[in-house]
């Protein structure tokens, strides 16, 4: 199989299979989670706190006071990675073209220099948080196989995309094929690992905010 044939497979059947597994998995998990439900709270709400859930979505996206001192790598690394990853994912023109090809939606992209910086920032942040996870005994104790898997599956698309864009180490066509394949791996794993937080994060934040609001700790 030549690199071009691999790329053609990745853009064709590979992408269809990955997206299908991803869609299947997300729907399965969402139905499962929502159908579990929660016990009805029969007690009277301690405080009337309309919108507490929505406010929590915002407040928990902002850094809590003191985190910078307690966990600077988590603090900075977390933000830099998520922002770098999101900018690279949503504002690189070929990525927007992919979304346009799938949904018909499109928006303006950013110059490649900006994407380049955000991708490098994302990569460095990922490396920093991994180093911190490995060197900090508490984090290491709390980490399992799935955490390292999630890290790898996130790291690979950024790394292969960077190699492809800059024509480093491997032939561009092969690098592009590997990049798309790595994204497909990420899509396949997304519903079944901690990576599912990309779908569930705001739902769980809303629920936490709302239930704590009822218990008198409104945000």
Q: Which residues bind other proteins (CB under 8 A)?
A: 2, 4-5, 7-8, 11-13, 15-16, 19-21, 23-32, 35-36, 93-95, 97-98, 100-102, 108-113, 167, 172-173, 176
Least Å distance between CB 15 and other proteins?
A: 5
Least Å distance between CB 20 and other proteins?
A: 4
Q: Between residues 125 and 159, which has the closer beta carbon with respect to other proteins?
A: 159
Q: What is the 3-state secondary structure (H, E, C) of the chain?
A: CCHHHHHHHHHHHHHHHHHHHHHHHHHHHHHHHHHHCCCCCCCCCCCCCCCHHHHHHHHCCCCCCCHHHHCHHHHHHHHHHHHHHHHHHHHCHHHHHHHHHHHCCCCCCCCHHHHHHHHHHHHHHHHHHHHHHHHCHHHHHHCCHHHHHHHHHHHHHHHHHHHHHHCCCCCHHHHHHHHHHHHHHHHHHHHHCHHHHHHHHHHHHHHHHHHHHHCCCCC
Q: Between residues 6 and 125, which has the closer beta carbon with respect to other proteins?
A: 6
Least Å distance between CB 39 and other proteins?
A: 11
Q: Between residues 73 and 99, which has the closer beta carbon with respect to other proteins?
A: 99
Least Å distance between CB 177 and other proteins?
A: 9
Q: Between residues 102 and 201, which has the closer beta carbon with respect to other proteins?
A: 102
Q: Between residues 184 and 210, which has the closer beta carbon with respect to other proteins?
A: 184
């Amino acid at each position: 199989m030549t690199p071009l044939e691999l790329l053609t497979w990745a853009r064709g059947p590979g992408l269809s299979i990955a997206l299908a597994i991803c869609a299947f998995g997300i729907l399965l998990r969402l139905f499962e989670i929502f159908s579990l439900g929660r016990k009805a709270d029969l007690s009277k709400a301690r405080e009337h706190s309309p919108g507490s859930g929505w406010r929590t979505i915002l407040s928990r996206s902002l850094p809590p006071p003191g985190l910078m001192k307690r966990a600077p790598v988590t603090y900075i690394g977390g933000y830099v990675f998520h922002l770098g990853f999101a900018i690279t994912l949503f504002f690189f023109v070929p990525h927007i073209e992919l979304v346009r090809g799938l949904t018909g939606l499109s928006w303006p992209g950013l110059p490649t220099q900006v994407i380049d910086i955000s991708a490098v920032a994302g990569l460095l942040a990922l490396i920093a948080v991994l180093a911190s996870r490995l060197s900090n005994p508490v984090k290491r104790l709390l980490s399992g196989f799935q955490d390292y898997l999630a890290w790898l599956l996130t790291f690979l698309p950024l790394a292969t995309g960077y190699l492809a864009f800059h024509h480093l180490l491997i032939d561009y066509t092969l690098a592009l094929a590997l990049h798309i394949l790595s994204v497909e791996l990420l899509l396949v794993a997304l519903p079944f690992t901690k990576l599912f937080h990309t779908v569930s994060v705001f739902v769980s934040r809303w629920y936490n905010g709302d239930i704590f609001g009822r218990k008198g700790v409104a945000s």
